[in-house]
Amino acid sequence: MSDAIAHTTLDNGLRVVAQRVEGASGVGVSVNYRVGFRTEKPARSGFAHLFEHMMFQGSRNTAPGEHFAAVQACGGVVNGNTFPDSTDYYQVVPGEALRKVLLLEADRMGFLTISPELLATQRDVVKEEIRLQVTGKPYGGFPWTVLPAVMFERWENTHNGFGELADLDAATADDCVDFFRLYYAPGNAVLAICGDCDPEDALAEARSAFADVAARPVPAPPDLHEPLPAEERRGTCHDRLAPQPALAMGVRLPDARHDMRGYAAHMALSHLLTTGSNSRLRAALAPLGAKADSATGYFGPLNVVHPDTFVVVAHHPAGQADKTEEIVKNHLSDVAGGAGRGAETARAVARTRTGLYRDFDSLAYRARFLARGELLFGQAGIGERLARYAGDLTEDDLAAAAANVSSPEGRALLNLLPKEATS
């Protein structure tokens, strides 16, 4: 169980939300900034992720690497992540360490250390991460680094968030200073605190810890709008390390700000299609030796603002691309036409709702969702609102979601081929 969410906005513009979670052990803290892959500029792809690394390299009262060490020394966990529309920095610590964590976050928000030497080191770290996670790994980054270029037109929506190596090499310390001043302003961020804490006391701690962080101008979010293409788009990419071909299908999700029920229905549709060996697509593709997965968003639900993507990915043997695509499309059409009603729909709806509440049991997940909800949607409690919608879905809701995914309007199909394969 959780209490109501307390809110405040500090004099410097930082929004703070706090929530007590009954039975929680410790506190979760997340600072989310309104900057990500889709905030980057041409010739500086990958910069948001690179800068995430810079945020752990020390500040006025914190030596490089000390943030990690201080949190781990008190038995906590700490990490950061860059997404299309936001970057988060989160910790879970014992309650008595809350002030320490808030002071660490305030120190780097206001007084980050930036130097050419630190940038050079972190650039090498990021390039090695790209080699390990993308270029040197089968299906590395597939499909989120490549499918958007088939679906969209705007550079902000299409480019690879890991970045081009030439763009990373061109980044300078002055670029970092400018990026920090613009996007890491307190008015461009939300701080969330949740767990074993009194919400009003947590807000008071935040006021004290961030009192020395001055306000800075806040940029407008990027314009990401694109009209919906009338026809299906198709593309091909190659992966020299992939053992077999794969297919990715992407469709725009409903805008959760205006159609939360439709958004939740796509989450349930994902479970109906690909959760469990007896799910519709997995059972249908098994005789081919193929396996499918699906997801609402590349990085989880409500992780980005509109446009967001419902994605289906199927790995299949060579020569089975057309058959795999046919099976996927036929089953989507079947569900849109009324198949899957009864127990199949009920199971998918239950999995959606219970999965969300299970995730919220994690203080790290909850803190990040609270901050992201307030930052991107103006609703810190949007995650629990989504769970309530998910539990109230009907068979018609899932059929409507399947109809959206079945429509060629705005749909993109990307075939991944091993380098030597032709089909």
pLDDT in tens, 97-120: 999 999 999 999 999 999 999 999
Judgement on whether residues 190 and 263 belong to the same structural domain of the protein: no
- On whether both 264 and 178 belong to a single domain, the answer is no
d(CA 254, CA 309): 9
Residues 201 and 239 in one domain: no
The mean pLDDT value for 393-419 works out to 96
- State pLDDT tens for residues 128-169: 999 999 999 999 999 999 999 999 999 999 999 999 999 999
CA distance 29 to 50: 22
269, 386: one domain: yes
- CATH code for position 109: 3.30.830.10
358/350 Cα distance (integer angstroms): 12
Strands 15-20 and 189-195, sheet pairing: parallel
* pLDDT exceeds cutoff 60 at 421: no
**Does one domain contain both 241 and 150?**
no
Phi-psi region of 105 (alpha: psi -120 to 50; beta: other; left: phi over 0): alpha
Considering the domain boundaries, does residue 132 fall inside one?
yes
Take residue 157 and report the two structure tokens written for it.
């929506």
Whether residues 201 and 240 share a domain: the answer is: no
Quick one: 188 and 90 in the same domain? yes
Q: Which residues pair with 77 in a beta bridge?
A: 92
Residue type, 403: A
Indicate whether 172 belongs to any domain.
Answer: yes
Q: What phi-psi label fits residue 195: left (phi over 0), alpha (psi between -120 and 50 degrees) or beta?
A: left
Distance between CA atoms of 417 and 139, rounded to whole angstroms?
10
* Strand locations in 115-262 (E): 189-195, 233-239, 246-252
Q: At what angle do helices 382-390 and 363-377 cross, to 10 degrees?
A: 100
Domain span holding position 307: 233-418
Rounded Cα gap, residues 314 and 75, in angstroms: 40
Q: Which helix (H) or strand (E) holds 287?
A: none
Last residue of a domain, one of 176, 209, 242: 209
Would you state the pLDDT for residue 3?
80
Residue 246 has pLDDT above 60, yes or no: yes
Tell whether 189 is covered by a domain.
yes
Query: What rounded mean pLDDT belongs to the chain?
Result: 96
Residue 374 belongs to a domain: yes
DSSP string, 217-232: --PPPP----PPPSS-
Whether residues 78 and 153 share a domain: the answer is: yes
Q: Does one domain contain both 190 and 247?
A: no
Q: Name the 3-class secondary structure at 53.
A: helix
The answer to whether residue 362 is domain-embedded is yes
How many whole angstroms separate alpha carbon 413 and alpha carbon 87? Answer: 28
- Helix (H, G, I), strand (E, B), or coil: what is residue 411? coil
Percent of residues, the chain, with pLDDT higher than 90: 97
Asked if 68 and 22 count as a contact pair (C-beta separation under 8 A), the reply is no
349 within a domain of the structure (yes/no): yes
Please indicate, yes or no, whether residues 265 and 375 belong to a single structural domain of this protein.
yes
Same domain, 196 and 240: no
Separation of alpha carbons 353 and 357, rounded Å: 6
* 288 assigned to some structural domain: yes
Torsion of CA 370, 372, 378, 384, to 10 degrees: -40
Number of independent structural domains in the chain: 2
pLDDT at 420: 59
Residue 347 to residues 235, 354, 391, 393, Cα–Cα distance (Å):
34, 11, 11, 11
Same domain, 35 and 178: yes
Would residue 215 count as lying in a domain? no
